[in-house]
Chains A and B, each alone.
Chain A
Amino acid sequence: MPRKKELSFEEALGRLNEIVDQMEQGDLPLKDLIANYSEGMKLAGTCSQALSRAEQAMDLLVQEKDGEAVTQKLIIEEEGK
């Protein structure tokens, strides 16, 4: 199977909604039911994973140098410090 482009969170959630609606609505043939169910659970996993991503991306401070972006870690100073 050709490798599919990774769905965005939004697309995954949209597709998941679609599948749930369809499954709640109709008496799907067993074959489709199983296919939809696996796809739905996979999407739910993708979404949850996206939401629970543990790693916190480093916040950046970006400056322009000779027309290019130069980044460094952004330190947010707390009030009073």
Chain B
Amino acid sequence: MAIHGVSEVNRFIKGLLQGEPALRRLMVRGELSNFKVYASGHAYFTLKDATSALKCVMFRSRAQYLRFRPENGQSVIASGGISVYERDGVYQLYVDSLAPEGQGALAQALAQLKERLAAEGLFGEAHKQPLPFFPRRIGVVTSISGAVLRDIYHVSKRRDPSVQLVLKPVQVQGEGAAAQIADAIRFFNEKVPVDVLIVGRGGGSMEDLWAFNEEVVVRAIYASRIPVISAVGHETDFTLADDVADVRAATPSQAAELAVPDTQGLRQHVQSLAIRLQQAALHTISRKRDALAYAMERPVFEHPAEALLAPRQQALDQTIERFQRAAKTCLGARQQAMDDAMKRLELLSPIHVMRRGYAVIERGETPVTRAAQVQPGDALTLRFADGCVMAEARETGKNSRGGK
């Protein structure tokens, strides 16, 4: 026979127990004893019945969700799996959830339903509808009596006095409550158009809130085309209605806050937008006016005649001046030429020659330039520079130059 170490044996037994499907997940009814929560948050206790005891451990990750205060002697139902604590060689129940007996079955059913509906995708974020921004009509599915309706009424009217509430009164607990709630949600969708639905009730025990865990209610909320805000119980209460609703409100008052926008704040927002609009318009206009003023200050607008004409005037002036100068130059040259011509003319003038002692001979009005023109006896005028001599030709001949 082989010899084994202690650890080896314990590990072997652990493997055996864990391999047994019936022990992997089971519910155990018993009486609580030695219940103790350690600083770590883990809870240790023993379940007993008339003849036996079973060691149990509930880790912090589970124990923190305990919905009741466990007391020794209390009859409870624990669900979990059996395994071995190797160090001490003991087997124990590793508890996932613990409920006072009576609620145990309910809790189990709830967990199973939740799992099933989750698997169907009913709680998925993809199905959540956004709440309307500015609802005019709020549908309310709750009891006609009680604080819930009053809270919703006061909060929503404070935030928007003109919002309209439409109540479909339902029984929120007890036999038939779930069916009424589900019908009311369907009824709103089919017959009474509202912008958003608040479905809820005030606080109570788990049983009181139970209708909001029922499948008909969950499915009705899921099917609603009107966005649904759930408001069931207090902040610490969670129901499947909360899981499936488009938005979960911790309280009915909060549901009204979520549903109805604060018109005071909105009014201020709109006002500030109007002011910004005006300022933007004024700003743009003033910028345009500046641009216009700048343009108007340009010389062409300020002194249009000068600005437009001055350059032309200047060009004209310059042209005229150039013309005058050119004319002057041109005329000067002519003048000189004329003067010269005059001088030369003067030199050729007979008077000029006559001054040097020559005379011009005329017969009648006709100048005589050759001897042959003269006949003896002709009356001739000898014109000197300083006067005339009347003479008579005595004789004509060729070139007699007597004396010299």
Q: Is the CB of A19 within 8 A of B277?
A: yes
Q: B138 — nearest CB in chain A belongs to which residue?
A: A59
Interface residues on A, range: 35 or more
Chain A binder among B143-151, B247-255, B345-353: B143-151
The CA of A4 and the CA of B171, in the complex, are separated in Å by: 44
- The distance in angstroms between the C-alpha atoms of A67 and B167, with both chains bound, is 17
Provided the pairs A23-B284, A47-B270 are in contact, do residues A60 and B166 lie with their beta carbons within 8 angstroms? Answer: yes
Query: Cβ of A79 < 8 Å from any Cβ of B?
Result: yes
Residue of B137, B274, B288 most packed against chain A (CB within 10 A) = B274
When C-beta atoms are compared, the residue in chain B nearest to A64 turns out to be: B187
- Taking a contact as CB atoms under 8 Å apart, the answer to whether B165 and A51 are in contact is no
**Pick the contact of B161 from A37, A48, A50, A56 — CB < 8 Å?**
A56
In the bound complex, residues from chain B placing their C-beta under 8 Å from that of A63 are 168-169
Which residue of B has the minimal Cβ distance to A33? B284
Contact B281 A23 (CB under 8 A): yes
Per-residue interface assignment for chain A, residues 4 to 32, with 1 indicating a CB less than 8 Å from any chain B CB and 0 otherwise = 00001110010011011001100110100
Number of residues of chain B lying within 8 A (CB) of chain A: 42
Q: Which of B167, B278, B280, B287 has the most CB of A within 10 A?
A: B280
Assembled-state Cα–Cα distance A44/B269 (Å): 10
**Residue of B with least CB distance to A34:** B281
The smallest beta-carbon distance between B271 and chain A, in angstroms, is: 7
Within residues 101 to 144 of chain B, which ones have a CB less than 8 A from any CB in chain A?
132-134, 136-137, 144
In the assembled complex, the Cα of A44 lies from the Cα of B317 at a distance in Å of: 65
- Secondary structure call for the B interface: helix
Measured between beta carbons, the chain B residues less than 8 angstroms from A62 are 166-168, 187, 192
A10 touches B164 (CB 8 A): no
Instruction: Determine if A61 and B274 form an interchain contact, defined as CB atoms under 8 angstroms apart.
Output: no
Nearest Cβ distance between residue B386 and chain A, in whole angstroms?
Answer: 99
**A58 proximal to B (CB < 8 A):** yes
CB distance from B263 to the nearest CB of A (A): 5
Q: Are A51 and B270 in contact (CB under 8 A)?
A: yes
Instruction: Choose from B149, B164, B266, B277 the contact partner of A23 (Cβ within 8 Å).
Output: B277
Q: B163 interface residue, CB < 8 Å from A?
A: yes
Q: Is the CB of B134 within 8 A of A79?
A: no
Q: Determine if A60 and B164 form an interchain contact, defined as CB atoms under 8 angstroms apart.
A: yes
Question: Complex: how many Å from CA A10 to CA B261?
Answer: 12
Chain A residues whose CB sits within 8 angstroms of the CB of B276 once the complex forms: 20, 24
Q: A20-B273, A36-B281, A71-B166 are in contact. List 6 more A-B contacts (CB 8 A).
A: A16-B270, A20-B277, A51-B270, A61-B169, A62-B168, A79-B150
Q: Identify 14 residue pairs between A and B in the complex whose beta-carbon atoms are under 8 Å apart, listed by A's number.
A: A13-B273, A20-B273, A20-B277, A24-B280, A27-B284, A52-B263, A52-B267, A55-B162, A56-B161, A57-B163, A60-B165, A61-B144, A62-B168, A74-B166
Residues of chain A at the chain B interface (Cβ within 8 Å): 8-10, 13, 16-17, 19-20, 23-24, 27-28, 30, 33, 36-37, 40-41, 44, 47-48, 50-64, 67-69, 71, 74, 76-79
